């Protein structure tokens, strides 16, 4: 079983104490976002958890206790963009704070286990292609030697973020402009020893060495755990997404980063209200189990098949 922690919120940044308590207790409860009284109990034993994928814009709060994760294999999807406080109001300064945190994490656990995400990329009168290329180059230079891979994506419009996107004057590039932008991104990354992949993109950018990427990637996980796994495509993701199946343990409307492009929060006010319910000792994130809830234990099994041999 692969644990996603989390596409729905920033667990390393805001809920690391809760996460470590869940690891210690050996289980976590997760509500079905389509049926709030349907709750799954997910066992977190190292015997069935093959890998944990952390998604974060700031993993610093989780770093001091990484030793507690020694029984587990894990890796980070670390989002580091060029946006300012107008777009990512609660993310610390990138050059002064976040690049050093990225370097510290990479030095601690190895660059193979820290993937840089420069996404989503959106274009406005302020955040032009030229702006993004300058920001991407500055970050790539700072991360040289600290990661092997960067994932990019272009902003998608959802019901939850459409209004804010339109208010910012977000626009898309035409085909030729997008191809030229991708070409320059790839060249900058390559110069700094970083390979670029795209996330759930319909546009083909492989001419510039940008392959369709799987964020929860079978080969990435196998190379870290040293074992083959048997896992199919995650049917809960978009058709363009190539990620393998995982179990999500986060909760929507709980992220405090406040990003204007966010699809996981309906509003900053709602996220703040849910954060007020946060209890590090609760088995469920930002809430409590009630008498109305129906709890079922989710079947969990290891996906491991066989050890990798020399040459694999």
The tens digit of pLDDT for each residue in 42-71 reads: 999 999 999 999 999 999 999 999 999 999
> 200 pLDDT exceeds 80?
no
> 253 pLDDT exceeds 70?
yes
- Residue 2: strand, helix, or coil: strand
> 73 pLDDT exceeds 60?
yes
38: confidence class by pLDDT, cuts 50, 70, 90: very high
> 39 pLDDT exceeds 80?
yes
Sheet holding 149-154, edge to edge: 211-213, 195-199, 149-154, 114-121, 74-79, 51-56, 2-5, 247-248
> 242 pLDDT exceeds 80?
no
In sequence order, the 6+-apart residues with CB closer than 8 A to the CB of 58 are 10, 12, 13, 91, 92, 98, 101
Say what the pLDDT of residue 183 is. 95
Say what the pLDDT of residue 166 is. 74
**Is the model more confident about 166 or about 265?**
265
Lowest mean pLDDT among 111-115, 123-127, 154-158: 154-158
Q: Average pLDDT of the chain?
A: 91
Taking the C-alpha atoms of residue 33 and residue 38, their distance in angstroms, rounded to an integer, is: 9
Domain 2-307, CATH class in plain words: alpha beta
CA distances from 312 to 106, 119, 222, 300 (A): 24, 31, 10, 27
Say what the pLDDT of residue 203 is. 74
> 16 pLDDT exceeds 90?
yes
> 310 pLDDT exceeds 60?
no
Q: What's the distance, CA 133 to chain centroid?
A: 22
Say what the pLDDT of residue 159 is. 56
**Is the model more confident about 162 or about 88?**
88
Taking the C-alpha atoms of residue 44 and residue 138, their distance in angstroms, rounded to an integer, is: 39
For residues 165-191, one letter each, b for 16 or more C-beta atoms within 10 angstroms of the residue's C-beta and e for the rest, the string is beebebeebeeeebeebbebbbebbee
**Is the model more confident about 284 or about 215?**
284
**Is the model more confident about 80 or about 306?**
80
């Amino acid at each position: 079983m692969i644990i996603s922690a989390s596409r729905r919120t920033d667990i390393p940044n805001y809920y690391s104490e809760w996460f470590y308590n869940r690891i210690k207790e050996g289980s976590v409860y997760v509500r079905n976002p389509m049926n709030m009284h349907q709750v799954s109990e997910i066992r977190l034993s190292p015997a069935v958890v093959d890998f944990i994928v952390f998604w974060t814009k700031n993993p610093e709060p989780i770093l001091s206790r990484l030793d507690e994760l020694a029984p587990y294999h894990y890796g980070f999807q670390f989002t580091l963009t060029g946006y300012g406080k107008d777009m990512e109001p609660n993310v610390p300064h990138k050059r002064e704070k976040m690049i050093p945190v990225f370097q510290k994490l990479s030095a601690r656990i190895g660059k193979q286990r820290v993937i840089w995400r420069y996404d989503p990329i959106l274009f406005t009168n302020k955040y032009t292609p030229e702006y993004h290329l300058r920001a991407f180059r500055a970050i790539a230079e700072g991360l040289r030697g600290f990661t092997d891979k960067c994932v990019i994506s272009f902003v998608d419009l959802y019901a939850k973020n459409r209004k804010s996107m339109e208010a910012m004057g977000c626009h898309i590039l035409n085909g030729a402009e997008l191809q030229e932008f991708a070409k320059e991104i790839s060249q900058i990354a390559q110069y700094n020893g970083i390979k670029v992949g795209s996330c759930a993109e319909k546009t083909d950018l492989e001419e510039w060495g940008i392959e369709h990427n799987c964020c929860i990637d079978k080969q990435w996980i196998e190379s870290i755990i040293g074992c083959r796994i048997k896992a199919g495509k995650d049917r809960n993701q978009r058709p363009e997404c190539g990620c393998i199946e995982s179990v999500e343990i986060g909760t929507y409307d709980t992220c405090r980063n406040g990003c204007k492009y966010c699809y996981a929060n309906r509003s900053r006010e709602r996220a703040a209200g849910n954060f007020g319910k946060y209890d590090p000792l609760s088995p469920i994130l930002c809430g409590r189990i009630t008498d109305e809830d129906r709890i079922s234990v989710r079947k969990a099994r290891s996906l491991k098949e066989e050890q990798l041999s020399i040459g694999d």
